[in-house]
Amino acid sequence: MRDTEALARQAEAFFSAHPGVSLMALGAGEHAEAMDLSPLGLPATYLPAERNLELAKQYLALNQFAFRGIGVPRWVLSDLYLMPGAIGLLRCPARMLKPELRAHLGLADEEPAIGAAYYAAPSMTSGLFIGVSLLSFLPRTGAGAWVKTLTLCMLQATRLRGVAQWDNPSVRVHARLGPLRLMGRVPGGHEYGERTFVYETDLSDGACVAEAMERRLSLEPTRRIAVTDLSALSVLLDRAEAGEALYLVPPGVQEGHVLVREGAR
């Protein structure tokens, strides 16, 4: 990522505004050397999952709490998260979490807790990661956007692909890092296939990411399509799969419509 000065200042401001929050990564011990543990010049601690079983157990409990029936099983956490990659974490004193969550985890106020976490899986393409799971239990702090950004910096990702639904508010979170290029439909299908799409975010320009993080990135949409107009949205995906450049521009979705920009950003 180039031109990261503004993004680094924003990250420093986030941690200054939330004392007690620290950046960590949890993964197989052998991956530590492949990580950037000074993302944007900030200190990060790498925790080998083989020796931090309680932290892995806490992440598992939080993932299952957040996603209920589709929370990650323990074998998936080990085999598909921690063995091939690493989870980025923002840790904080448990008192920063809601009382019911502290009780669920069985933590006293000053014990360390996971306040936010993000996992992106490595892919067969160098620099490309696949967004899998974002958790944040620190509302109105921006922790979700920051754990995602800093994790991708630690992974030295240059591109991110993910899956979203047109009508899901998470589209606005995904667009915090910049325009979402439409790639097409999900390989192998999806439970919500008619309203699901694959997007890609270019992470190579830190200045662009910084503007998006501050909601200052202004790109006029050429079309606004209702999130319920699945036939029109399906045509968009046909065009994207044919190679046309189509983007959802920040904030991605507004007043029940996706904001589409056709052509170059």
Bond preceding residue 251 cis, omega within 30 of 0: yes
As beta bridge partners, residue 205 has 2
Looking at the fold, whether 112 and 97 belong to one and the same domain comes out as: yes
Q: Is the dihedral of CA 79, 137, 202, 164 positive or negative?
A: positive
**DSSP H/E element including 89:** strand 86-93
Three-state DSSP at 35 gives: coil
pLDDT at 151: 98
How high is the mean pLDDT in each 10-residue block of the chain (265 residues)? 94 97 98 97 98 97 90 95 98 95 94 97 97 94 96 98 93 94 90 85 96 90 96 97 96 95 84
- 29 close to 51: Cβ distance less than 8 angstroms: yes
CATH number of residue 112's parent domain:
3.40.630
Q: Are residues 132 and 189 in the same domain?
A: no
Both 142 and 229 in one domain: the answer is no
Among 157, 182, 207, the domain-final residue is 157
**Same structural domain for residues 101 and 163?**
no
Helices 206-213/143-154 angle, 10° precision: 170
Same-domain status, 149 and 203? no
Position 178 scores a pLDDT of 95
pLDDT for the residue 192? 63
Per-residue pLDDT at 217: 83
Alpha carbon distance 160, 67 (integer Å): 22
The residue range of the domain holding 17 is 1-157
Q: Do residues 59 and 136 both lie within one domain? A: yes
Stated pTM of the model: 0.94
Half-sphere exposure of residue 256: CA atoms within 13 angstroms, side-chain side? 3
Q: What pLDDT was estimated at residue 64?
A: 94
Specify whether 138 is located in the same domain as 7: yes
